[in-house]
Chains A and B, each alone.
Chain A
Amino acid sequence: MTSRGCSAMVDCEFCSIVNKELEGEELYRDDKVVGVLHLKPAAPGHILVFTAHHYPILEQVPDFEVGHVFSVANKLSTVVFETLGVDGTNIIIENGVAAGQSIPHVVAHIIPRHENDGLKLQWQPKKVGNDEMDIAQHQIKEQTENIHPSAFEKEKTQIVLEEESEGKKGEDKKSQKKKDDYRLSQLRRIP
């Protein structure tokens, strides 16, 4: 179960596009995200923005990379506005199977919208009692108490160079690596 995160990389469609093993209709690429046109779009111009690194769900993506996904999604959404003459866009992340996510690699959908386009990207409000709301508020608040903006993971500017030979040596180093700062490890991957 736990090894899925990395073993999935091998047959992950998005990783294959990142690695250029699979050709996508690529629109944007930097060291953290890739943007492609969806081959089976909800509407013409439907763009997928996914992380360059393989993370199954949003909670696993380091903070600064999440911020970047939103920033690029916004820029591409603006481009859609400017070039395709649409009335609106939706930006949606389906996070987890229960939310409809089908590929275990974090991706944001940018969907161009027109009046009466027939897309049902809307929900019916549920009737919830005040007591229920209060309980939910209390439960959620308990979990948000330890969110501190000052502790958000930032991208380190200096590059950490590390000698790393291929194959077995890399394996040996794994245990040592675990002790390393998780954030530093993010820099070791080559864009």
Chain B
Amino acid sequence: MILNERCRDVIQELFNIGAGRAASTLNDFVQQRVFLQVPEVFLCDDRDQAIAWVEKTLDDQKLAIVQMAFQGDMEGRTSLAFSRKSAQLLASILSGNDCNKPDAELNAVGESVLVEVGNVLMNGVMGTLGNMLNMKICYQVPQFLHHNVELMVAEENASFLMARAKMTVAELEMEGVILVLFALHSHDHFLSAVERLAASK
């Protein structure tokens, strides 16, 4: 996947708009001041490169992942991944339940909280991408998964669009990764749409 600087900026901007909407939605529901930012995006066709980037960003082999498959003008799946510690912390703050301590196993309550957060964030980002790039996309139901990095990025023949998601809740900072994984036939379509949008600006 080749992307020029301008297209990269457009994608980062789209991610940030989506994250901003998601943060606003979360603020309404969890009664905590949630701040979301996407400071970096990374695109590649190489699985090993993608794994290395996720590992560098999250620094944890065991991840808490919320995943949503999508179809339509683009096909693939979107994942939101947190290191186990960040996932515990986030679930604990948002559910107001201090039993979800960072050093404990993530329980079903924590999982359902993360599913909702992932759902809001991924809907925000993918909804913005779909709207701004004028693409029709349908989504499947979000799922919670305990995976390691290699399972998260399992596909060999895919393009990877990854973004670092920085989330601040109750003055605590957590980092996650938003991974949009395109089926190979989709990414040309996606890039064309991005280039069109970049050219129109």
B is bound to A: no
